[in-house]
Amino acid sequence: MQTLWLENNQISLRDVPQPHKLDEALIKIRKAGICSTDLELVKGYYPYMGILGHEFVGEVLEANDASWIGQRVVGEINVVCNQCEQCLNGRPTHCENRTVLGIINRDGTFAEYTTLPLANLYRVPASIPDEMAVFTEPLAAALEIQQQVQVHPTDRVLLIGAGRLGQLIAQTLALTGCDLYVVARHKHQQGLLKARGIRIISEDEIQPGKWDLVVEATGSQSGFSLARRAIRPRGTLVLKSTYKGEMNVNFSSIVVDEINIIGSRCCPFEPALRLMEAKQVDPTVLIDSEFSLGDALKAFEHAAKTGVLKVLVQP
């Protein structure tokens, strides 16, 4: 089958045999999305070799449980052992033996087919079209903030960054009723937010030391510095991006202001599916363009351009 293969910081189209695993479902990919993590993997952010891609919607072709065959599904990306200390303490996304779809030791979804254990799959309600369902994984990642941190309806919340993930975070944080403002660099990003009634703020309007909760979603040193400046004493600063290399942090000021910095990654898929089914979020507004799998190299080139939001790939 045709795939997008990553090796030595190079992506290429490659033909590989169709996968087959006894204990996993065989899934025909219907659509896959390009995530910032994919772009970072290409740059060498993590030493991965294999088929890229972890955002997808597909159809189950083969499974040990016949009731799944023919179902339209999305799938959680962490395949876990259920036996290590992390799993037994309710932290399966931190499984010590996990493989991760298209990221750690497991071929991904820029391919005609992929495999996942049935335990990872969720049926997609009929009212959620493919081009929405393909956002389940990043939408779940956005919701991990509320899974980790109590967002009070009265909180003053600043979101820095309105790219692929930032837009989804903005949509979900808005549902809490919190006093949300977003720093969005690009006109197109700003337009999407305004269309949903979400307020934009420019950097120089941001009052320092006044925000209860700040979400950093740019992955840049300048984004972190702005977040640090904005947060109030004893406030919570959520790191919600990938960061290249190391950040410089003034720990003495973190100590003096007793700031809480918390990293945030993945969340289960069901809440994301529920919010899409209830039309409380609409990730499809992020779609920039769709390419065939044969044009995946062009798709990646396009996705890497400044300000481009979601690029989809269809096998």
| Residue nearer to a second copy on the CB measure, 20 or 196 | 196
| Residue nearer to a second copy on the CB measure, 10 or 252 | 252
Q: Which of 131, 116, 94 is nearest to 263 (CA)?
A: 94
Q: How far apart (Å, rounded) are the C-alpha atoms in residues 169 and 151?
A: 13
Give, as ranges, the residues between 225 and 284 that touch a second copy (CB under 8 A).
232-234, 239-252, 254-265, 267-268, 270-272, 274-275, 277-280
- Least Cβ distance, residue 114 to a second copy (angstroms): 22
Q: How far apart (Å, rounded) are the C-alpha atoms in residues 24 and 293?
A: 23
Q: Residue 38 in 3-state DSSP? A: helix
Give, as ranges, the residues between 5 and 44 that touch a second copy (CB under 8 A).
none
- Least Cβ distance, residue 250 to a second copy (angstroms): 5
Cβ 313 vs Cβ 32: under 8 Å: yes
Give, as ranges, the residues between 88 and 107 that touch a second copy (CB under 8 A).
88-91, 94, 96
| Residue nearer to a second copy on the CB measure, 152 or 188 | 152
| Interface pick for a second copy out of 59, 112, 179, 288 (rule CB under 8 A) | 179
Q: How far apart (Å, rounded) are the C-alpha atoms in residues 64 and 89?
A: 28
| Residue nearer to a second copy on the CB measure, 144 or 293 | 144
- Least Cβ distance, residue 19 to a second copy (angstroms): 26
Q: Which of 95, 103, 98, 92 is nearest to 35 (CA)?
A: 103
Q: Which residues contact 157 (CB under 8 A, 6 or more apart)?
A: 151, 173, 178, 179, 180, 181, 211, 212, 213, 214, 215
| Residue nearer to a second copy on the CB measure, 29 or 198 | 198
Give, as ranges, the residues between 208 and 227 that touch a second copy (CB under 8 A).
209-210, 224
